Structure 1
């Protein structure tokens, strides 16, 4: 069964965000390096976060896994939210929170829809 349009749109937006963010880390773009250094995180951790984000973006596009991947990414975003909160980066805190809420909503709606069909 095909997902409702609103759910597909949110899925594609989340996938784009996580893919772009992850690739920026994997390509070690200067602004990502500067941010991870400012936060006191290692470059190994930056690459690990990048791999998780890219894998999550791809997982969102696989309908069989998209609900659980959405919820996992929402939980994963708690690290970003905490980092931005600790460092008082308010615009990035707002963005990370919006992404986490979008991922949580997407996962919850998808699981709710699947349970309704069972």
Structure 2
């Protein structure tokens, strides 16, 4: 049950965050300019985040989306650390920990796989 809650909370976070980037909301444009990233990278990141959010919502893609979320969040952690944005760093790090927890829980071997060999 707890993993389902983590899954859908993360899906919502990625859909909203990615959607804001894809929509080109002003606060996202300002942030990417402040960080020195090109605008195309904002849209690229947004599409990746929306894809992860959709993937987390679809059972067949969930494992892959959970794995893909980890490097995205490492990028966010690095960006916030380099720019000394410590409250956002803490949020990104917390989301990263949830992503790792989810990915590990989805990729662990099942008892059938353990008994197969």
Q: TM-score, normalised by structure 1?
A: 0.91
Aligned 1:1-118 pairs, distance under 5 A: 5-112=1-108, 114-118=109-113
> Displacement, 1:40?
0.4
Measure the CA separation in 1 of the matches of 2:11 and 2:111: 25
Segment drifting more, 53-62 vs 66-75: 66-75
Segment drifting more, 67-76 vs 39-48: 67-76
Measure the CA separation in 2 of the matches of 1:34 and 1:100: 23
Q: Which has the larger radius of gyration?
A: 2
Please state whether the residue corresponding to 1:51 is helix, strand or coil: helix
Measure the CA separation in 2 of the matches of 1:116 and 1:55: 30
Count of equivalent residues: 113
- Gapped runs of 5+ residues in structure 1? none
Would you say the 8 A contact 2:35–2:83 is kept in 1? Answer: yes
Q: TM-score, normalised by structure 2?
A: 0.91
Measure the CA separation in 2 of the matches of 1:116 and 1:23: 38
Query: What are the superposed Cα offsets for residues 34-88 of structure 1, whole Å, 9 maximum, x if unpaired?
Result: 0000000111000000000000000011222212211221122111100000000
